[in-house]
Structure 1
Amino acid sequence: MSDASVPKDRRFPIGLTIATLVAFAILCGLGVWQLKRLAWKEDLLARIEVLKTAPAQPLATVLARAKAGEDVAWTRVSVGCSSDKPQTLPLVYGVRDGDIVWRATAICQQTSDSAAGYGAILLDLGVVKALTGQSTPASVTLYAPAQAIGVLMAPKSLGGDRAATVARFAADNPAPYILMVESATPAPPGITPAPLPAEISNRHLEYALTWFGLAVTLLFIYAAMLWRKMRS
């Protein structure tokens, strides 16, 4: 029997089948992506947990490991800075505890030669308390501290155009990390250190199950529609 002799409402729905398969593949892909994000987030949370009791390591030693290919993000380090003049660097916008905050930055010229060949590193000193909630903050001028202890982070993982700020000091060969300061000597006045996110959620398993659940539901709906169409 040719296709022309089959009633139109009983022909196999090729277009619907293709659309269903494409949608099914997309939903499953999103579920797999969330599982990968889950593994990344669990590793991140484990590193943060270890960080709570980890001693600070010399920045030069850690950057040497980074240059050898090791991921040194979320490593606690210490560095000495040479500061001979005040700096006015861009404030970085952020949200903390539901409020708009502005974070102060400074460039730290290292007082000791780095084994990795870097001469400076950008410091995120923390939140400028007086500017909390302001949409257009005034600039802040400060000195880099003589000594800083904090956590290394990659610029791409942080908000704000940190990479552009680092690029301003290309002549100083800055390190490709941002030092999120936990404590500084002397402490910059009016600035509260805030090196870690206020809260890190981990709902990727929930999201993955949602996407996979939608994929299975789509198949059931397609099967029910196909059964009803072929049966009628």
Structure 2
Amino acid sequence: MSDASVPKDRRFPIGLTIATLVAFVILCGLGVWQLKRLAWKQDLLARIEVLKTAPARPLATVLAGKGDASWTRVSVTCAPGQAETLPLVYGVRDGDIVWRATAICRTSAAGYGAILLDLGVVKALTGQPTPAPLALAAPTQAVGVLMAPKSLGGDRAATVARFAADKPAPYILMVESATPAPAGITPAPLPAEISNRHLEYALTWFGLAVTLLFIYAAMLWRKMRS
């Protein structure tokens, strides 16, 4: 029997099948991506848990090592310097607009000549939409957690680029404590909260993929049976 002799409503729905397969692949891909994010997040949470009791290591020692140094607690001594005006970094903490202060710490560590410090939240600027910039000098001593700029909000990478002549380290030091402590600034090195719902999201995407197949099968069955 030729295709021309088959009624239109009984023909195999090639277009619908292709569309269903494309949507199914996309949904499964999103589910797999969420599983990868789950593994990454679990590793991150484990590193943070270890970080809570880890001693601070010298910055030079950490930077001289191999691999990613993110989420490592370090200590650094900064050379005396004048206060410099650097951009404040916008953020949201506990539902409020906050502004984080930064300073450049010039030091000698594993071939690098400086590292950008995130000193913490400027308490007086909480809730302000457009605060005036602050001029701050780096503390003499600082202890904090190393973070990659790309993992942080705000254009810290642009600030680091301003000090290219100093060969800045490719990390931001999120300060936990500083000597002397900068007035009016509250250290906030770690995120206020880190959610981990990637398994839930993965199951949702896979569930939608399976549901799509059932809907397609039901439509195909009705079409071929009618």
TM-score bucket (shorter structure): over 0.9
SS of 2:84's equivalent in the other structure is coil
Distance in 1 (alpha carbons) for counterparts of 2:9 and 2:82: 81
Cα pair distance change 1:218/1:69, threshold 3 Å:
farther
Distance in 2 (alpha carbons) for counterparts of 1:72 and 1:150: 12
Q: 1:99 aligns with which of 93, 96, 100?
A: 96
Could you tell me how far 1:69 is from its partner in structure 2? Answer: 7.4
Could you tell me how far 1:138 is from its partner in structure 2? Answer: 1.1
Q: Post-superposition, which runs of at least 4 consecutive aligned residues in structure 1 deviate over 6 A?
A: none
- RMSD of the alignment, in Å? 0.9
Number of residue pairs aligned between Structure 1 and Structure 2: 223
TM score, norm. by length of structure 1: 0.95
SS of 1:105's equivalent in the other structure is strand
Is the contact made by 2:59 and 2:109 (CA closer than 8 Å) also made in structure 1?
no
Alignment gaps of 5+ in structure 2? none
TM score, norm. by length of structure 2: 0.97
Distance in 1 (alpha carbons) for counterparts of 2:218 and 2:120: 57
SS of 1:194's equivalent in the other structure is coil
Greater alpha carbon shift after TM alignment, 132-141 vs 208-217:
132-141
Alignment gaps of 5+ in structure 1? 109-113
Cα pair distance change 1:186/1:115, threshold 3 Å:
closer
Distance in 2 (alpha carbons) for counterparts of 1:219 and 1:78: 56
1:65-86 superposed Cα distances (whole Å, 9 cap, x missing partner): xxx7731100000000012211
Give the number of the structure whose residues are more often strand, by fraction.
2
Could you tell me how far 1:115 is from its partner in structure 2? Answer: 5.2
1:195-228 superposed Cα distances (whole Å, 9 cap, x missing partner): 0000000000000000000000000000000000
Cα pair distance change 1:69/1:79, threshold 3 Å:
closer
Is the contact made by 2:62 and 2:74 (CA closer than 8 Å) also made in structure 1?
yes
1:124-176 superposed Cα distances (whole Å, 9 cap, x missing partner): 00000000000000111121100000000000000000100000000000000
Instruction: Percent identity, please.
Output: 90
Greater alpha carbon shift after TM alignment, 221-230 vs 133-142:
133-142
